[in-house]
Amino acid sequence: MEVSKSDALEIRVSDDVVLVRQAVRKWAIELGFSLVDQTKIITAASELARNTIDYGEGGTVRLESLIDGFRKGLRLIFLDNGPGIADIELALTDGYTSGKGLGLGLSGARRLMSDFRIESRVGDGTRVEITRWK
Amino acid sequence: MERIPILRMGDFLIISIQVDMHDRMAMTLQDDLTNKIIQTGAHGVLIDISTLDMVDSFIGRMINIIASMSRILDAETVVVGMQPAVAITLVELGLTLSGVRTALDVEKGMELLRAATRSRRAEAEEREDGSVEE
């Protein structure tokens, strides 16, 4: 698997969520994703970008265009140095929230993407990696 | 700050969301709308989202809140013009727009609001008639 293009964006304030959505849309279009797939990727990115601010005290997202043989993909890696998640299974439960949201961000993003990986250490931060293959 | 305009048409308020809303804008819209319902005594709110290319849990939650607040203030809410890709994504995300009426376009949405206010008026009249007889 080869990363054909990559970039990183800061996620600090709520306006950055809009910028992340716009960047992800541009990349998804470039890779030739269908409209439905574009919408799924943008929505997942929006959820995770907001989580980065609301729960991770801000962070970054790394965008990567992937080529794996004949297939293409878009990978997004959200990183923060926030308080981390003590119970990942619980955080991935539909409807569970430690804040004031609907509790669909993480679980919803997982359903919308092909691959979903999350690592978190309490006191260290959280890393969420999502990929959608074409 | 950028604001989403709220138009009045007879008994109804009309909002067309045509920008990629950041979170603060969504919060302002909630406030503006409740104030406007009280000011005008409107009985229906129509939200056109035909140009929105994604609805994440934040915007979904905003729509739910607007609908519940409107109901308390004696106004029905109808969301119109959702793009197919947005609808597909919304379902996969796990978001339900509970208690929110939807219609395919503005025209059908207006019909729905008119019918809702008519039936409500009829109910109110029936109740009044009933109390006279007693």
What topology is assigned to A2-133 in CATH?
A: Heat Shock Protein 90 (3.30.565)
Q: Does A25 touch chain B (CB under 8 A)?
A: yes
Quick one: pLDDT at residue B132?
A: 57
Structural domains counted in chain B: 1
Distance CA B56, CA A47 (A): 7
Least trusted range by pLDDT, from A21-30, B41-50, B98-107, B116-125: B116-125
Residues in chain A within 8 Å Cβ distance of B60: 102
Report whether B44 contacts B80 (CB < 8 A): no
What pLDDT shows up at residue A101? Answer: 78
Evaluate whether residue B100 is within a structural domain: yes
Sorted by sequence, the CB contacts under 8 Å of residue B128 that are 6+ apart come out as none
Q: DSSP states of B75-134 as a string? A: -EEEEE---HHHHHHHHHHT---TT-EEESSHHHHHHHHHHHHHHHHHHHHHHHHHHHH-
pLDDT value at B134 more than 70 = no
The beta-carbon contacts of B100-109 under 8 Å, at least 24 apart in sequence, are B100/B63, B100/B64, B100/B67, B101/B76, B101/B77, B102/B78, B103/B78, B103/B79, B104/B80, B105/B50, B105/B80, B105/B81, B106/B14, B106/B46, B106/B48, B106/B80, B106/B81, B108/B80, B109/B46, B109/B48, B109/B78, B109/B79, B109/B80
Q: Does A36 touch chain B (CB under 8 A)?
A: yes
Span B6-65, pLDDT tens digits: 999 999 999 999 888 888 888 899 999 999 999 999 999 999 999 999 999 999 999 999
Q: Which positions in chain A touch B89 (Cβ < 8 Å)?
A: 36, 39-40, 43, 112
**For position B128, which CATH number holds?**
3.30.750.24
Q: Which of A26-35, A121-130, B1-10, B39-48 has the lowest mean pLDDT?
A: B1-10
Owning domain of residue B56: 6-133
Q: What is the pTM of this model?
A: 0.90
Query: Which residues are registered as beta bridge partners of B44?
Result: B12, B76
Which one of A17, A39, A104 has the shortest CB-CB distance to B53? A39
Per-residue pLDDT band for B133 (boundaries 50, 70, 90) equals: low
pLDDT above 80 (res B122): yes
Per residue in B79-101, pLDDT (tens digit) is: 999 999 999 999 999 988 888 99
Question: Which residues make Cβ contacts (< 8 Å) with residue B57, sequence separation at least 6?
Answer: A47, A101, A102, A104, A105, A108, B93, B95
The tokens describing B91, both together, are 């379902």
User: Does the pLDDT value for residue A108 go beyond 90?
Assistant: yes
Judge contact between B75 and B40, C-beta under 8 A. Answer: no
Contacts of A108 in chain B (CB under 8 A): 57, 92-95
